[in-house]
Amino acid sequence: MSRIGKKEVAIPDGVTAKFENGVVAVKGPKGELSLALVADVSVDIAEKGITVNPHGESKRARSMWGMQRSLLSNLVEGVSQGFAKELELRGTGYRAQMQGKDLKLSLGFSHEIIFTPPEGVTVACSSQTEIKVSGIDKQKVGQAAAVIRSYRPPEPYKGKGVRYKDEYIFMKEGKKK
């Protein structure tokens, strides 16, 4: 039995959810998102919450039960509060700045990297070494942050590179004489 799937997704004030033709649409103060459900689960929308139930006891139905509940929870949280990932740059000469809606990164290469955020994702720089990626879709925010980090991932000897704000980098010891 799925422990996550059993939990009801609470619907906060100001958020509405409706289910039509296998698609759950959630609307809130930050925007609107929808999710096409798999055929192995069904949804019951009540006044204060959304309940996900599996069709039968097959392995796939039980697997999809918890996953679909988590995706619905992310939709509700996204339209009510939104998601954000914070990145920081470490290294001499590494800097970021906004160029319109695009992000311009100087990461020690011979050229500068221009990152254009996808639709529904906002990128902001509070300083030259801090980047904040935010939006209502958790998957898009995480993917955009991962793409920015992939331009120069942190290396294990000096720790230089782009890292998440709360990320711990296991440092290796250098060569010994």
Q: CATH 3.90.930.12 spans which residues of the chain?
A: 3-80, 83-164
Q: What is the pLDDT at residue 164?
A: 95
Superfamily of domain 3-80: Ribosomal protein L6 (3.90.930.12)
pLDDT for residue 175 is more than 90: no
The answer to whether the beta carbons of residues 69 and 9 sit under 8 Å apart is: yes
Backbone angles phi, psi at 27, to 5 degrees: -125, 135
Place of tokens 């254009």: 116
Q: Give residue-wise pLDDT tens across range 106-119.
A: 999 999 999 999 99
Q: Give the integer Cα–Cα distance in Å for 64 and 52.
A: 10
The reported pTM is 0.89
User: Domain 83-164: which CATH class?
Assistant: alpha beta
pLDDT for residue 31 is more than 70: yes
pLDDT for residue 56 is more than 90: no
Q: Give residue-wise pLDDT tens across range 73-88.
A: 999 999 999 999 999 9
